[in-house]
Amino acid sequence: MEIFYAKEVAGKTVFLDQEESAHCIRVLRHRAGDEITVVDGLGTMMRCRLTDDSPRNAEAEVLERTDGWGGHPYSLTMAVCPTKNNDRFEWFVEKATEVGVDAVVPVIGDRSERKVFKTERSRKIALSAMKQSLKAQLPGICEPVSVKDFITGSQSALKLICYCFEGETQRRSIEDVLREVPEGTDITVMIGPEGDFSPEEAVLAVENGFIPVHLGPSRLRTETAAVTAATAVYLHFIK
Amino acid sequence: MEIFYAKEVAGKTVFLDQEESAHCIRVLRHRAGDEITVVDGLGTMMRCRLTDDSPRNAEAEVLERTDGWGGHPYSLTMAVCPTKNNDRFEWFVEKATEVGVDAVVPVIGDRSERKVFKTERSRKIALSAMKQSLKAQLPGICEPVSVKDFITGSQSALKLICYCFEGETQRRSIEDVLREVPEGTDITVMIGPEGDFSPEEAVLAVENGFIPVHLGPSRLRTETAAVTAATAVYLHFIK
C-alpha cells in the first residue's frame, strides 16, 4: 500500500509537493483518474482521485476521509539528547515513529557531546517512517533546546526523566509509574546523553515535577533507552 | 568501564584471544599487574590481574568471580527472519543484546527474500553490545534454519508467533499472554519476514504449540517487531 503525504489540503482538494508529485507521477506512473491514498500528517487519511498528474505539483480530489488513522491511545513527547553518532538518533526517530510518538525534542544537556542537530534529516526519516508504517500523523521533530529550558517549559500532565546515577534508589520503574496513568494522558519522557544528565539537571527536573524512572537493570545506549521508553508507553496503552 | 571477553578460562587463568589481547595491550596499553574486568560470555564476570601482557595472547589471573552478572530474569530465544537489508537485522541483534536475549535464530521463511545470513557479523555485533552494555552472557547467534524446521524443533515452554494476517482475530496481545507466565520461563518468539509468514507456516506453528500474538495496532518493520517483542518480555519481567 503506497501512501502519499500532502502538506496542503484545501476543502476537497489535496496538493502534493514537488517530491511527492515526482514519486507519484514519475516513479509510480499514476495518471489522472487513478485512486491514491493521501495522509495529511495531522491524523487524517484520505482516499483520493488524482485530478492533475503534473510531476511537479499533482492534485487530487478527496473521495473519503478517515480521521485518527493509524493513531495511538496516548500522547507522547520524547525529549532525547542527540547521540554522538547521528545515525543512532535518526534510527530512534524511525522506530519511535513506527511504534507511535507525537513529538521528538532534541535536548542538549550539560554533558552532551553533540551540540548541533540536523532537524531536516530527522523530519525526512519521520515522514518516510510514517508512510511505511501506515500512519496519518507525522511526529513533530522540534528544533533543539537546552535540557534546562525544556525542563522549565514542559507542560505535560506526566513528566518522566530516565537517568542512571550510580546508587540512585529514588527511581521507580517506568512500568510502575505508567500503571497509575489514565489512557490519553499527555506524557513526556526525557532521556539523557551518553554521559547522563548532570546532577543539576536532575535536581531541576525533579523541582519541576519530573518523576525519576528507570528502564530496568540493563545498561542501555541513549537511543536504545529512548526506544525502550517509547515502547513501554506503547505496550502499556495498547494492552 | 572496559570489559574484555575471554573465550577460554582454565581454573584461575583467563586467556584473551588475539583481538582482545591487541585491544587490551596495544590500544589500552594495559601492562602485567594491571587489574582488568573479563567476562566469559556464559554469565560470569571476573576481576582479574594481568599476568602476561603479550599483545597476541594476553593472560590474566582471576581475583574474584561474579556469576549472573548483568543477567535477566527470563530466558528468551528470538527466531527472526533476516531482513532484506542486513543492517536492520544487525541493529536488532545489537538492541536485543542490550535489552537482554539468550539466543537469536535467523529463520528463513517461505516468503523470505533473503536466504543467506552472515552469522559471523552478527556474532561480532552481539559481542560488542554485550561488552558495551556490561553483560557477561553472550547471546548465541545460531546458524540459519528454515521456519518449518525451527517450528517443529523448538522445545521452549512458551512459544509465540507474531504475524499480521489481514482480518486475523485469533491473536492475543503479547502482554496479555506474558501475564500468565511465571518468572524464568523459557520463551521463544518468532517474527516473520517483510512478506509475513505463509499461511502454511502459521498453521504448522499453531499445530506445534505456538501461540499467535500481536504487538498492537502499529504496523512494524520486521526488525522493529523483533525489538518490540524482546522489549515486551524484558519490561514484563523487570517490573
In the three-class reduction of DSSP (H, G, I as helix; E, B as strand; rest coil), residue B131 is classed as: helix
Q: Does the pLDDT of residue A140 top 80, yes or no? A: yes
Q: Which domain holds residue A112?
A: 75-237
Instruction: Flag if B239 and A100 touch (Cβ within 8 Å).
Output: no
Question: Residues A192, A193, A198, A201: what is their CA dihedral angle, to the nearest 10 degrees?
Answer: -40
Residues B15 and B42 in one domain: yes
Q: Does the pLDDT of residue A166 top 70, yes or no? A: no
What is the rounded distance in angstroms from the CA atom of residue A50 to the CA atom of residue A38?
Answer: 10
**Closest partner residue to B218 among A99, A220, A239, by Cβ?**
A99
Contact (CB, 8 A) for B199 and B161: no
Among A224, A197, A172, residue whose Cα is nearest residue B97? A224
Q: In CATH, what number is assigned to the domain containing residue A9?
A: 2.40.240.20
So what's the ipTM on this one? Answer: 0.92
CB pairs under 8 A between A and B: 92
Average pLDDT over residues A84-106: 96
CA atoms within 13 A on the CB side of A121: 12
Residues B228 and B175 in one domain: yes
Mean pLDDT by 10 residues, chain B (239 residues): 92 95 96 97 97 96 96 95 94 98 96 88 96 96 97 96 72 91 93 91 94 92 97 91
Instruction: Flag if B235 and A175 touch (Cβ within 8 Å).
Output: yes
Residues B170 and B203 in one domain: yes
Residue found under cell 532534541: A106
Instruction: Flag if B235 and A239 touch (Cβ within 8 Å).
Output: no
A-interface mutation test, from B98, B174, B235, B238, most A Cβ less than 10 A away: B235
A-interface mutation test, from B69, B84, B238, most A Cβ less than 10 A away: B238
Instruction: Flag if A218 and B173 touch (Cβ within 8 Å).
Output: no
Per DSSP, the residues of A77-90 read EEEEPPPSSHHHHH
B-interface mutation test, from A39, A94, A218, most B Cβ less than 10 A away: A218
Average pLDDT over residues A9-32: 96
How close B3 gets to chain A, by Cα (Å)? Answer: 14
Q: Does the pLDDT of residue A169 top 70, yes or no? A: no
**Closest partner residue to B218 among A91, A133, A173, by Cβ?**
A133
All residues of chain B having their beta carbon less than 8 Å from the beta carbon of residue A91 are: 91
Average pLDDT over residues A118-129: 96
Amino acid type, B47: R
Instruction: Flag if A218 and B175 touch (Cβ within 8 Å).
Output: no
Amino acid type, B191: I
Residues B128 and B209 in one domain: yes
Instruction: Flag if B175 and A232 touch (Cβ within 8 Å).
Output: no
All residues of chain B having their beta carbon less than 8 Å from the beta carbon of residue A69 are: none
Q: Does the pLDDT of residue A129 top 80, yes or no? A: yes
pLDDT tens digits for range A184-224? 899 999 999 988 899 999 999 999 999 999 999 889 999 99
By mean pLDDT, which of A45-49, A164-168, B4-8, B157-161 is the weakest? A164-168
All residues of chain A having their beta carbon less than 8 Å from the beta carbon of residue B231 are: 227-228, 231-232, 235
Q: What is the pTM of this model?
A: 0.94
Domain boundary among A18, A46, A67: A67
All residues of chain A having their beta carbon less than 8 Å from the beta carbon of residue B174 are: 235
The reported pLDDT for the residue numbered A116 is: 85
* C-alpha cell of residue B56: 597476541
Average pLDDT over residues A128-152: 96
How close A103 gets to chain B, by Cα (Å)? Answer: 17
Contact (CB, 8 A) for B40 and B136: yes
Strand pairing report for A3-5 and A35-39: parallel
What is the rounded distance in angstroms from the CA atom of residue B125 to the CA atom of residue B105?
Answer: 15
Residue found under cell 537511543: A223
Residues A47 and A101 in one domain: no
Residues A125 and A42 in one domain: no
Domain count, chain B: 2
Domain boundary among B25, B51, B67: B67
| A215, burial (CB in 10 Å: exposed 0-12, middle 13-18, buried 19+) | buried
CA distances from A221 to B96, B128, B131 (A): 12, 12, 12
By mean pLDDT, which of A35-44, A173-182, B39-48, B228-237 is the weakest? A173-182
Residues B143 and B25 in one domain: no
Instruction: Flag if A235 and B216 touch (Cβ within 8 Å).
Output: yes
Residues B152 and B61 in one domain: no
CB atoms within 10 A of CB A123: 15
What is the rounded distance in angstroms from the CA atom of residue B81 to the CA atom of residue A111?
Answer: 39
All residues of chain A having their beta carbon less than 8 Å from the beta carbon of residue B132 are: 221
Domain boundary among A15, A39, A67: A67
Q: In CATH, what number is assigned to the domain containing residue A89?
A: 3.40.1280.10
The reported pLDDT for the residue numbered B150 is: 98
All residues of chain A having their beta carbon less than 8 Å from the beta carbon of residue B90 are: none
Residues A80 and A57 in one domain: no
Q: Does the pLDDT of residue A139 top 70, yes or no? A: yes
What is the rounded distance in angstroms from the CA atom of residue B124 to the CA atom of residue B129?
Answer: 9
The residues on A that touch B, with CB distances below 8 Å, are 70, 72, 91, 95, 98-100, 132-135, 173-176, 216-221, 224, 227-228, 231-232, 234-235, 238-239
> Residue A94's pLDDT band (boundaries 50, 70, 90)?
very high
Residues B44 and B144 in one domain: no
H-assigned helices in chain A: 18-21, 86-99, 119-132, 147-153, 174-178, 199-207, 222-238
Query: Which chain B residue is nearest to residue A174, measuring alpha carbons?
Result: B239
What rounded mean pLDDT belongs to chain A?
94
The reported pLDDT for the residue numbered B184 is: 86
Residues B7 and B79 in one domain: no
> Residue A93's pLDDT band (boundaries 50, 70, 90)?
very high
The reported pLDDT for the residue numbered B149 is: 97
Residues B48 and B82 in one domain: no
Average pLDDT over residues A104-115: 92
